[in-house]
Structure 1
């Protein structure tokens, strides 16, 4: 009988490597970090084997939602800055955002407690829409000047990514996903996150802050190389051939 080579497929012991990202919607560097990470991921050859999960983190859990107060006034009150210096800082951050293609309108930003926005994220994650929800929240806060604590606004953001409006409204009116938010905050402490954005790759490597895309790419390469060694692919021939089974039957 003439031997022939059979095509084969790969069966992964674990289908993808997880990257967890802790962030807060009111953190300007989190949106910038998101873009820089995405740029790195786009260059990563094995990007299809990377699973990204967004995690909740609150920079100021006690913050009151105050639509009438400007961000410069808030920074002056909380950090002891002059309004002029606060404006300089925001201008600098706006320029940083522009470098990665983001439009920041800090003068339109609405001061808002982010807890319900995080519950919105947690709900979206159950529908496989975590990344889309995070993008909507950032854009709403930094570009569009929307109140991300307002339930109607969150329902609109949800509808834009395909979430069921009635279900989301019910979630927001109750307390669902509150524990999920608190769990993420607790986990952040356990993995050493003292600020955001905070990226954890395969629960082995961490990247803190909105690092250059090159730094993210290097972290992806190193962590994925180790993950791949620990999760070798099994090659399975497609087709039938002579074989024996545990019960002693050979054909």
Structure 2
């Protein structure tokens, strides 16, 4: 029996990167667990995205993000990209990566590129290079970004997120457990134990 961890996240959410790494550690010795990533855009177009030079981001990072990252031993830095990128294109690319069996590698590469390498993940050329590093064909990937099918699949993902009333990222669903925000490894493992026992 395989248990699934469903996680809703956005590529510009530092708490999502922290949650990813905590989950990775929690399931390191559990072969029958699959992590399924779902899209949730925090600020879809045309809403303006945040700017790191404005007071909000440096303040929330100083007070909340950096302390949480240190507690969970996850390297992360406030990106200087301004304004922060929209993530719709990257999520369309995620649909292509899923079809190619590279969803996990792609998700991880986009997350780390933004929060550890300060790369603009809203830029097509940057995305194509990262896709290549995740094991995808950069040319086919670039074409997929403009493919109506992938755009529609992403819209359906967002509609599903709304139907499930996802308002916080990360939101993690394991069996009947719904966890909003970053959970400790013990919480993840207990939820998996309950799911396996059900």
Same fold by TM-score greater than 0.5: yes
Aligned to 2:70: 98
Measured against aligned partners, the alpha-carbon deviations of 1:78-125 in whole angstroms (never above 9, x if no partner) come to xxxxx2x64232123123223333322215244101100111111111
Aligned to 2:163: 190
Return closer, same or farther for 1:175/1:71 CA change in 2, 3 Å cut-off: farther
Aligned to 1:235: none
Structure 1 distance, partners of 2:46, 2:28, is 36
Measured against aligned partners, the alpha-carbon deviations of 1:104-149 in whole angstroms (never above 9, x if no partner) come to 2215244101100111111111122111111111111111111111
Q: How does 1:102-141 map to 2 (within 5 A)?
A: 102-110=74-82, 111-141=84-114
Contact 2:2-2:34 within 8 A present in 1 as well: yes
TM-score computed with the length of structure 1 as normaliser:
0.71
Contact 2:51-2:57 within 8 A present in 1 as well: no
TM-score computed with the length of structure 2 as normaliser:
0.89
Structure 1 distance, partners of 2:48, 2:197, is 44
Contact 1:64-1:113 within 8 A present in 2 as well: no
Residue 193 of structure 2 is aligned to residue 207 of structure 1: no
Q: Which runs of 5+ in 1 are unaligned?
A: 1-14, 74-82, 227-251
Q: Which runs of 5+ in 2 are unaligned?
A: none
Please give the root-mean-square deviation of Cα atoms over the aligned residues, in Å: 2.1
Return closer, same or farther for 1:23/1:107 CA change in 2, 3 Å cut-off: closer
Moved segments of 4+, more than 6 Å: none
Contact 2:79-2:114 within 8 A present in 1 as well: no
Q: Which has the larger radius of gyration?
A: 1
Structure 2 distance, partners of 1:222, 1:39, is 18
Structure 2 distance, partners of 1:191, 1:224, is 23
Q: How many residues align?
A: 196
Structure 2 distance, partners of 1:62, 1:195, is 18
